[in-house]
Chain A
Amino acid sequence: MFSNRYIFVYSTVLVVVAAAVLAIAAVGLKPFQDQNEKVEKMQQLLSSVGISSTVDSAEDLYEKYFTEEYAVNTEGKVVSSYVDGKQNGDVRPFSIDMNKEMDKIKNNSGDVALPVFVCTKEDGRKNYVVPVVGNGLWGGIWGNIAVDEDLNTIVGVNFGHKSETPGLGGEIVTDKFQSQFKGKSIFGKDGGNVELAVIKRADKTDAYQVDAISGATITSTGVSDMLKNCLGLYIEFFRTLKTK
C-alpha cells in the first residue's frame, strides 16, 4: 500500500509535470497557430469577394487586393487605418477582434473600432468587406460580408461556425446557403435599417429575403440577427462614404 504522503507527493508531481508539458507546448506552438489563424482570416476575406486562394498564396493575394483597411466607430469616423502598408492609428484594423468590439457595445464600455476591409478589384471596382459575429445554437458563428461599390448590394459572403450540428446548422458554411446572398440588398430604401433577413419559405425574388435552413431554425435566426446587429453598426460609415 502507498502512504498518504506518497499519494500527496505523487499527485502534486503529476499535476506539475502535466502543467509544464502543456505550458511548453502552448508557448512553443503559439507562433504556428497564430500564423494559421492569420492566413485563415485572409482566406476568408478573399473568398468573400470571390477570390479563391490556397494556404500558400493567401498572403500575397491579400496584399495585392486588400490595399486599404480601416477601423471606424459607430458615428462613421475613421479611428485608424492601414493603407499600402502604412499604419495610421493605434491598431492595425486587421488584428481587431470583432467579438471584443461587440462586447464593448453590449456593455457600453470604451470606444469601439470596427474593421472594414477595402478590396480593389482588377477592373478598379471597390468592394467593402465587413466582419460579422453572432451566436448560433451551440456556440459562436461569424462571417464576412462583401458589399459592392453602391454600399448596398452583396457581392459575396462567407460564414463560419464553432460547433453547429453537422448536416443542420453546420450547413451555413456551404456554397448552397452562401450563394443565396449574392445580389441581395442590405439596407432599406431610405438608406436606414438593415432589412436583409434569413427567413423560412423566403421569396427568392425578394431582394431582402434569404431562405433559412430547414431543421436549423435557431442557427438561421442567429445568422439573421448577426447581420442585423453588425451591419447596422456601419450605417453611418457607409453614409459618409456615399456623400464623399
Chain B
Amino acid sequence: MAGNLKLIKNPLSKENPITVQVLGICSSLAVTAQLKPAIVMSLSVIVVVALSNVVVSLLRNTIPQRIRIIVQLVIVSMMVILVDQILKAFVYEISKQLSVFVGLIITNCIVMGRLEAYAMSHKPYVSFLDGIGNGLGYSFILITMGFIRELFGSGTLLGYRIIPESLYEAGYANNGLMIMPPMALIIVGIIIWIHRSRNKDLCEK
C-alpha cells in the first residue's frame, strides 16, 4: 500500500513532471494566462493520462517494440478525441472553455512520457495510479502559474476582480508581461529554483 501511495505523492514534488522531468512545458505556457483554463486543462490531462496509461498497460505485452511509439500515439489520440466528443455532448459549456486545449493534450509530452517510462512495463492498476499522480503534479504547477499570472496580469481570479479599484486609482497597473508566454517561462524557472533550493538532492553536481 505504501508503495502505491508513493505513486501519487512522488510526482507532486520529487518527481514532478514539469519541474523535475521537464515534460509538458509547452502547454504550461499556453494555458496559464488565466486560472480557469488552467484548472480545466489540468482535469482533462489527469483523465487522459490515467486512462491511456491503463490501456497501454493492458496491451503492453502485445505491443511490438519497433512500433510502440505509433501505437501509443494512436491510443492517446483516440482517448483525447473521445474525451472531446463526450465533453461536447454532455458538458458543452466546459468543452467550449477547453476549445483547442483538448487537442493540445495529444502533443502533451507528459502523456507519452508516462506511457514510455511507466505503463509499458507495469501492471494496469499501478499505471493508473501513476497517471493520476503525474496528472496531479502537472495540475499543481499549472494552477499555481495560472493563479500568479491572472492575479498580477489581469487583477482578477477566475474572472472575479481581486485587486480593488482604489488601488488602480492610486496608480497601480496590471503587469502586461504576465499575460505573455515569456513570463510563464520565467515563472516556471522561479518555481524550479525554489523547488531545488528546498530539495538539494535534485541539484545536478
Would A29 and B33 be within 8 Å (CB), given that A21-B78, A168-B179 are in contact?
no
A6 and B64 form a contact (CB under 8 A): yes
Residues from 125 to 168 in B contacting A, C-beta threshold 8 Å: 150, 153-154
B88 and A166 form a contact (CB under 8 A): no
Contacts of B92 in A (CB 8 A): 33, 36, 40
Would A36 and B64 be within 8 Å (CB), given that A14-B74, A165-B33, A167-B153 are in contact?
no
Q: How long is the Cα–Cα vector from A168 to B150 in the complex, in angstroms?
A: 12
Residues from 58 to 82 in B contacting A, C-beta threshold 8 Å: 62-67, 70-71, 74-75, 77-78, 81-82
Contacts of A167 in B (CB 8 A): 33-34, 150, 153-154, 179
Shortest Cβ distance from residue A40 to the other chain B in the assembled complex, whole angstroms: 7
Would A11 and B67 be within 8 Å (CB), given that A162-B99, A166-B37 are in contact?
yes
Residues from 1 to 51 in A contacting B, C-beta threshold 8 Å: 1-2, 6-7, 10-11, 14-15, 18, 21-22, 25-26, 29, 32-33, 36, 40
Does A52 have its Cβ within 8 Å of any Cβ on chain B?
Answer: no
Does B172 have its Cβ within 8 Å of any Cβ on chain A?
Answer: no
Contacts of A36 in B (CB 8 A): 88-89, 92
Total interface residues in chain A, CB < 8 Å: 27
Residues from 132 to 159 in A contacting B, C-beta threshold 8 Å: 138-139
A7 and B82 form a contact (CB under 8 A): no
Does B22 have its Cβ within 8 Å of any Cβ on chain A?
Answer: no
- The prevalent SS among residues of B at the interface is helix
- The prevalent SS among residues of A at the interface is helix
Q: Which residue of B lies closest to A174 (CB)?
A: B159
Contacts of A26 in B (CB 8 A): 85
Q: How long is the Cα–Cα vector from A215 to B82 in the complex, in angstroms?
A: 35
Shortest Cβ distance from residue B65 to the other chain A in the assembled complex, whole angstroms: 7
B34 and A22 form a contact (CB under 8 A): no
Q: Which residue of B lies closest to A36 (CB)?
A: B92
Does B43 have its Cβ within 8 Å of any Cβ on chain A?
Answer: no
Binary contact readout B83-95 vs A (1 if CB under 8 angstroms, 0 otherwise): 0011011101000
A163 and B88 form a contact (CB under 8 A): no
Q: How long is the Cα–Cα vector from A215 to B183 in the complex, in angstroms?
A: 15
Contacts of A162 in B (CB 8 A): 99-100
Binding site for B on A (CB under 8 A): 1-2, 6-7, 10-11, 14-15, 18, 21-22, 25-26, 29, 32-33, 36, 40, 138-139, 162-163, 165-168, 215
Given contacts A2-B65, A7-B66, A166-B33, 4 further A-B contacts (CB under 8 A): A25-B82, A32-B88, A162-B100, A167-B33
Binding site for A on B (CB under 8 A): 31, 33-34, 37, 62-67, 70-71, 74-75, 77-78, 81-82, 85-86, 88-90, 92, 99-100, 150, 153-154, 176, 179
Ordered by A's residue number, 9 sampled pairs between the chains whose C-beta atoms are within 8 Å are A10-B62, A15-B74, A21-B78, A29-B86, A33-B88, A40-B92, A166-B34, A167-B33, A167-B179
